[in-house]
Structure 1
Amino acid sequence: MGGSGKTTTSINLAGALGNYNKDFEVLLVDTDPQGTATEGTGFTDVYHSEDVSLYDVLTDIDEQQKVNDLILSHEEFDVLPSHELMFGVERELQSSPKTEERLDGVLDALERSYDYVILDTPPHLGPLTNNALVTADGLVVPAKPVRRSIRALETLFEQVGIIEKHFSSIDRLGMLVNDIQYPVDGDTQEMLDWFTRFEDGLGVYQIRNRVAIKRAWNNGVSIFGHEEECDMEEVYDEFATDIVAGTRQEMIIDE
């Protein structure tokens, strides 16, 4: 489901992990063909470049080692950007061997060791999201406090169950409910209550609508790299602290 705050969550969680410990090596991987995380970290030019890209290393096993040439240095963390050619990846993967394990192979080819890898996925289920689910240790679920989120979450967890039958299990790390407007009305409160009850053991973190988050995005950084103070830093910091306590390395940010 698009519009859930998936990419904003990815960028700010990467920033939160880097802020938690300045020695942490964090990588943000943009697997979304729309390249929103690539744009949101200031690398729009790379998205349109004619050089080797994530598309090439995902569709050609012999090219996987070239992923090391694609890593870009951001002021807060590293970025593996998407590319406009990524719109053709899912079609290519559907007829390729080890369809669901291409991303895992690409990340295994990394020469640099990362403490945490954040996987930003497309806003729909398909081969690219399946690749992220197979690769990740844990799942982070962004959502909006609206009724249409219910079916989207149910569908997502059905797909997670299918993946887990054939590959390794995936920890549910937490749900970030984004863009909450206060004071909340009755419908919003009902949804917040539903999220809290949705699944035992799934932490729910509430992200209020804040202009500072949007301004940080416009400046190509997380709220931790933005000069303007924002009270939502505390929420992201709490989530990062909980993730570190669970010692999970690779996380998928899904709808």
Structure 2
Amino acid sequence: MKWPSSSWSEGVRTRRLALLLQYEGTAYHGWQRQRCGSTIQATLEAAMCKLQPGFQEVVTAAGRTDTGVHAVGQVAHVDVTSPIPDHRWPKALNGCLPPDIRVLAARTVSSHWHACFSARWRRYRYLLYDNPVPNLFLRATSWHRYSTTLNERRMAAALQPLLGYHDLRAFQRAGSSRLHARTTVQAVDVHRWGDVVAVDVQCSGFLYGMMRLLVGQLVAVGEGRLPVCAFEQRWRLGKREEVQEAAPPQGLCFMGVGYEPVLFSAPAPWPWGQLGVG
């Protein structure tokens, strides 16, 4: 399929550009632009201003990651008037961006295509490190659980009933603007690679804070503090008040987003790509 390449707006020829992004989120207050604090969105828009004087558009992402959360397969779109060809956008933008944000690919898409609303699914991965000895090189990309070895089989069993269309308000943080808490969980997995346990969840859409609240409860299952049946009961009954502990942000990574037809494909880097399919 060939995407329509451009449109006319107020006499200026514009085109919509889709961007494949990676970022290390430690230094940022999430994706969305804020009055105070550096964000991924604001940093990308500042880079666009350097390449296209007078740029006033919004860079829109498939998923708005929170403070400290990483991404290896984020996709965003932006409307541009610059004649820079698609294959030169990554190098041009990377020259204006800090080293913890990288543009891997760019592609002109239809003016009707939307990074968020055109998505069929999104996938997150959370990394847990359960060796009692700290790993200096995983401190910014995993949650160190040193009290006991996690039982990944028990954690995987707890996740299976989540598959399908459910109301998951128990895993939604306060302050969400969504009108309901229903979503379709399309795939789940828990697997171990040495001292690292990865939790993978793929959904049609994620609730506000969903993945971190879910992992917080799942760790309690893996450590034997919460029975598998109690984990299921809490989310089926929507008992948000019983879901208190949220996993910290540094272990969470936005792995990818699916479109039809496929837009981008890129392998995930270490440590995110070590386990299963990145």
Q: Which is higher, the Rg of structure 1 or of structure 2?
A: 2
Higher-helix-fraction structure: 1
Higher relative contact order, structure no. (Cα contacts within 8 Å, ≥ 6 residues apart) = 1
Tell me the TM-score normalised to structure 1 length.
0.23
Tell me the TM-score normalised to structure 2 length.
0.22
Higher-strand-fraction structure: 2
